[in-house]
Structure 1
Amino acid sequence: MHRLRGSSTAWAAAALLTVLAVALVVRTVDAAALADAGRRLAASPGGALVALACFGAAFALRGWAWTRVLPALPPGQAWAGVHVALLGNRLLPLRLGEPLRVVSAVRRVPGLGPAAATASTVSLRGADTVALLAVGAGAAVALGLEVRDAGGAAVAVAGLVAAAVTGGGAWWLVRLRARGHAVRPPGAAAVAATLLAWPLEAVVVLVAARAVGLDLDVAGALVVTAAAVLAQVAAVAPGGLGTYEGGAVAGYVLLGHDPATGLAAAVVTRALTTVYALVAGGVAVLAPSPSLLGRLRLPRRLPPRPAAGPAPAADAPVVLVLPAHDEAASVADVVARAPRTVLGRPVRVVVVDDGSRDGTAVRARAAGAEVVEHGRNRGLGAAVRTGLAHGVGLGAAAVAFADADGEYPPEELAAVVGPVLAGDADYVVGSRFAGRIDRMLPHRRFGNRVLTWWVRWLTRHPVTDGQSGYRALSPAAAADAEIVHDYNYAQVLTLDLLGKGYRYAEVPISYGFRTTGTSFVRLGRYLRSVVPAVHRELNA
């Protein structure tokens, strides 16, 4: 409770400071200079593009330096990490982008521990600040500037703190290296990269200043960059809003420029760098794979097809599983219509009664089906899971399942299990859209089309019916299948089996809308249950 209250207070303070900073900037900035800058940059965007390219190169150098300290970190993920941090610092208060850099590396690089990622980040961020102080001080000396009193004391304190952070991070890295971690303290190459990054970043300040009409050179841009960035050490609002502008204005005033025009230049700088942060940071959240959000699709390269195992016995049955919940009105008819043999093998119909209260189990038994009862309603995914396990226990040559409401014709069982019995596929889906649909409500047709497109994108397979309730599995696939949630099975079962290398196929089937009972699917609950389960399956 205390932690929650403290967090709420911090966010409220950040929001208040953000509002105050925006109000102060609006009241103080030279609006005419800002408008002129906008017109100049729009008329001649080449300078802005060069500035953004240099800004991007600066962060690419920082990412490269990170790989020198953390060899296990791929260059692409290092680039992503520094840009996720940049985006986080622009959008979140209290410089929360820095922890996101560590999170990005740990979540996206297998085997990379948080200690190594954190120690390397701390060490490099400290070295980055030391480098900024060095280039800023060098530029000030070159311009003959003197920073006295409070300003000089602040620079000295910042230098001591940055040096301490750098040293502490390096010591931490040495300790981790002694324990067998693949890390190393920042070497000459990493330090050189951090030094070179700041002059590149200062190009944005240079372009922004000239856009508002200020006569600024490279040394002056470095002074302003140092003042503005160092001011963000105490940033509370997102992006250091207010503190960055205050530091930049202090730098411009030190160089003898008008404060209101200097503020306009700072605002232009922020606008340019924010565009970069949003675009590059947004890309970095998603790429390279795996994304910060986790894997969003199956990988392009899947494992080889698992071994088929021993051939089924000559008299091994085809097991047709009918998951059922309150389907007393239809289950007996579906059981009776199921063929007694398919492709030379006997058929055993198994009804999984998922907590029905209307006599479904009684009617299924009377019609000749075996019945497995859950006792309470657990969900379609759980019922299919039970049915697959029961089929494997019966030594099935193939396990198929269809709905007990009559929407899928049991007479077409041979077509669905055919590729499995022939050894051509391990997992077969009966496609309604490749076959004949007698009736489907328009909103359900639309929903099925959208979800099928999603499954096709997730799997990188030419799926034509991602939600079909008529499917068949080989004995190996049925034994290996995992359904990670009870509510449903369609997407997660397909992802599970394809992700394990099982061979997929589709066959056309007929479909007729149910004439009894009601569907359990409700859009809101469906999305709340299925989308997180799909994410878990992809990142298992």
Structure 2
Amino acid sequence: MRKDVKLALRRRVCTVNFLSGIRSRISTKTALIVGVLAGLVAALLVTPSVDGEAFAEAARQAADQPAGVIGALVAFGLAFVLRAIAWQRVLPDLPFSHALAGIHLALGANHVLPFRLGEPLRVLGVVRRRRVGIEAATVSTVTLRSADMVAVIALGAVVAPSAFFGLVGFAGWLLLALVAVAAVVGWKWLSNVAQRRPDVVMPGLVALSLSAVAWIAESILVRQVATWVGINLSWSEAILVTTVAVAAQIAAIAPGGFGTYEAAAVAAYAVLGYDPELALIAALGAHALKTAYSLVVGVIAAFLPAPALTGRFRLSKTSHTMVARPIAADAPVVLFMPAYNEEEAVEACIERVPDQVHGRRVELIVVDDGSRDSTAKRAEASGAEVIRLGDNQGLGAAVRVGLEIGVERAAAAVVFCDADGEYPPEELHNVVAPIFDGEADYVIGSRFLGRIDHMRPHRRFGNHVLTRVLQVVARQRITDGQSGYRALSFEAARSAEIIHDFNYAQVLTLDLLAKGFRYREVPISYHFRTTGESFIKLGRYLRNVVPAVYREINAA
């Protein structure tokens, strides 16, 4: 392996380890329990101290001033807009909407989870949505968050140095030292990355200044809420309360820093000479507005902008279509039959296969998927070529092997149907016709467009439900999503990917549609099997297929 590749892999592993180690010293379960308990304790301590009448009056004042509420929320939101702009200046290829969504996602999560466990979601959001490198996303986040904390301390020190450091005390100086170390480490790390990657830029004075302006914007909300309880803060006082409360939240235990925020804010109000009881109401009101904003935008950020953090649930709309290539005059039609314990049906099924269709010879292959009976021997005795997989690997694996063989033989079309007699090999001519007529690259023989001799009611219902779901997901009219009779052009067979071994039906269709191959259905006849047994069980089928469909959609 080349030295530069090794270095890149090492950096990626180190970055992943850094992210996973952020909270590795405590288990998630323990953190949640401690966080919830801390929140409950804070609530028990805060609630008795709240003046109910004064709180109700403040709420009435807010209700009578909707413009003030909206203005406070807009100012609070502006702070995160500024932080998104700063992030863009470090990662120029990161769209503003995705930068803002990543920040909002972490903000919302931090108001639900304890110990600021939501912070890694800022990185995760842009890495998953925009394929931003995990190292670039992580180092830029660490650096800018450190800059945020430096700005908090700097603002507090500028507007009221003695009050600020008097309030934070020894812990404040320790905090300053830790933040300074984090800032230096982040800056050095970012500098190293920026030297190697043209898509990463060192933050200039503008980007760093935006961090300070963002905190000033947040102080507007604090100042507005204070007026509703009868406290008229000056701008410098509002900034002091904001910086002290935020600095205390760095070590937040409860979700959203509840309790810590209120205690620090009230202390700041008290140093400024304001009534602690009114100060508590002002702190609770400001925190409530911030929490409401954070939860709403956090939920929105999980889904917008597209793709949602949860991933897609439908194929993307596509306008491209694959262009069919000329077919060699002597190219055969390869028909393969996946088979597992089909000794009672395979011989009769093979006898029904035509020697040629559309003037082309038919090469028949039975892919024996680890049968424990005499399926392979009977297939060979009937004149079919048999490919043995050894152990039972699953229908998806058998189909994958059959497609690979068809491609190796440069087939004009690769077709497969089950070896249990349910699908008619003699109708091969109709199934491949759209390919040879130049109308399709991928053809499904639809039982529901043709004649069904017999199908159990629960299977008919299940087929209709699953097909309807596939139709919605694929954005394509489909009448039989589970059919076991399908034909692919050479190009489609060569491009096809079946991402799991259990089954192929839905993932193959989604894969080929996502790649722009033309889809058609033709009517076929269907006769329910009279020998053997079906190995498809609904519970196991859904457990395997649903996750595979989700992966296929989000890989497209």
Normalised to the residue count of structure 2, the TM-score between the two structures is 0.83
Answer whether contact 2:443 2:519 (CA < 8 A) is retained: yes
Matches within 5 A, 1:184-203: 184-203=201-220
Identity, % of aligned pairs?
Answer: 53
1:294/1:539 contact within 8 Å kept? no
Write the distance in 1 (CA, Å) between the matches of 2:297 and 2:185. 30
Q: C-alpha separation between the residues in 2 aligned to 1:254 and 1:413?
A: 87
- 37, 42, 66: which is aligned to 1:21? 42
Deviation, structure 1 residue 384? 0.6
* CA positional deviation for 1:294: 5.1
Residue matched to 1:130 = 150
Given candidates 134, 139, 143, the residue that maps to 1:114 is: 134
Distance in 1 of aligned mates of 2:454 and 2:52:
64
Once the two structures are superposed, what CA deviation does each residue of 1:376-400 show, in whole Å capped at 9, x if it has no partner?
2110101111221233344432111
> Closer, same or farther in 2 for the Cα pair 1:65/1:374, shift >3 Å?
same
Cα distance 1:388–1:174, how it changes in 2: closer, same or farther (>3 A)? Answer: closer
1:182 counterpart letter in structure 2: D
Q: Distance in 2 between matches of 1:526 and 1:261?
A: 61
Matched, 1:284 2:277: no
Which of 308, 313, 316 is the matching residue for 2:329? 313
Task: Provide the residue aligned with 2:261 in structure 1.
Answer: 244
- CA shift in 2, pair 1:346/1:249, >3 Å: same
Residue equivalent to 1:477: 492
Letter in 2 for 1:313: A
- Return closer, same or farther for 1:322/1:147 CA change in 2, 3 Å cut-off: closer
Q: Map 1:341-360 onto structure 2 (within 5 A).
A: 341-360=356-375
Q: Is the 8 A contact 2:321 2:518 kept in 1?
A: no
* C-alpha distance in structure 2 between counterparts of 1:54 and 1:103, whole Å: 26
Match of 1:95 among 87, 97, 116: 116
Give the match's secondary structure for 2:119: helix
Local SS of the residue matching 2:338:
strand
Which amino acid in 1 is paired with 2:212?
L
Q: 1-side partners of 2:316 and 2:354: how far apart?
A: 39
Provide the rounded CA distance (Å) in 2 between the counterparts of 1:49 and 1:488: 53
Q: Compare 366-375 and 464-473 and name the one that shifted more.
A: 366-375
1:49/1:397 CA distance change after superposition, 3 Å: same
* Aligned-pair CA distance for 1:66: 0.4
Is 1:373 matched with 2:394?
no
| Secondary structure at the counterpart of residue 97 of structure 1 | coil
Unpaired stretches in structure 1, ≥5 consecutive residues: none
Q: 1:406/1:262 Cα in 2 relative to 1: closer, same or farther (>3 Å)?
A: farther
Listed one character per residue, the Cα deviations across residues 192-242 of structure 1 (whole Å, up to 9, x for unaligned) are 322332233234434544555655565544333222211111112332232
Give the stretch that moved more between structures: 26-35 or 247-256.
26-35
Quote the Cα distance in structure 2 between the aligned partners of 1:10 and 1:81: 23
Q: Distance in 2 between matches of 1:342 and 1:61?
A: 67
**How do residues 90-489 of structure 1 correspond to structure 2 at under 5 angstroms?**
90-110=111-131, 112-137=132-157, 140=160, 146-147=163-164, 149-151=166-168, 154-210=171-227, 215-216=232-233, 219-293=236-310, 297-301=314-318, 305=322, 308=325, 311-314=327-330, 316-435=331-450, 440-441=455-456, 443-489=458-504
Deviates more, 1:222-231 or 1:387-396: 387-396
Q: Is the 8 A contact 2:346 2:419 kept in 1?
A: yes
- Aligned counterpart, 2:8: none
Say whether the 8 Å CA contact 1:116–1:181 is kept in structure 2.
no
**Aligned mates of 2:58, 2:374 — CA distance in 1:** 77
Per the TM alignment, residue 358 of structure 1 is displaced from its structure 2 partner at its CA by 3.5
In structure 2, the CA distance between the partners of 1:201 and 1:476, relative to structure 1 (3 Å rule), is: same
Following TM superposition, by how much is the alpha carbon of 1:420 offset from its aligned partner in structure 2, in angstroms? 1.2
Distance 2:420 2:270 in 1: 79
Could you tell me how far apart the structure 2 residues matched to 1:478 and 1:409 are? 21
User: What is the distance in 1 between the residues matched to 2:313 and 2:201?
Assistant: 33
The number of residue pairs the alignment matches comes to: 533
User: What is the SS of the residue equivalent to 1:486?
Assistant: coil
Deviation at 1:65, TM superposition (A): 0.7
1:434–1:98 Cα change, 3 Å: same
**Distance change (3 Å), C-alpha of 1:449 and 1:193:** farther
**Structure 1 contact 302–499 (Cα < 8 Å) conserved:** no
Check conservation: 2:167, 2:244, Cα contact below 8 A: no
**Greater mean alpha carbon deviation, residues 91-100 or residues 381-390:** 91-100
- Counterpart of 2:391 in 1: which secondary structure? coil
- Using a 3 Å threshold, how does the CA distance of structure 1 residues 148 and 179 change in structure 2: closer, same or farther? closer
* Whole-angstrom CA distance in 2 between matches of 1:514 and 1:210: 79
Matched position secondary structure for 1:371: strand
Q: CA deviation at 1:493?
A: 1.7
Secondary structure of the equivalent of 2:364?
A: strand
Give the Cα–Cα distance (whole angstroms) in 2 for the partners of residues 514 and 223 of structure 1: 79
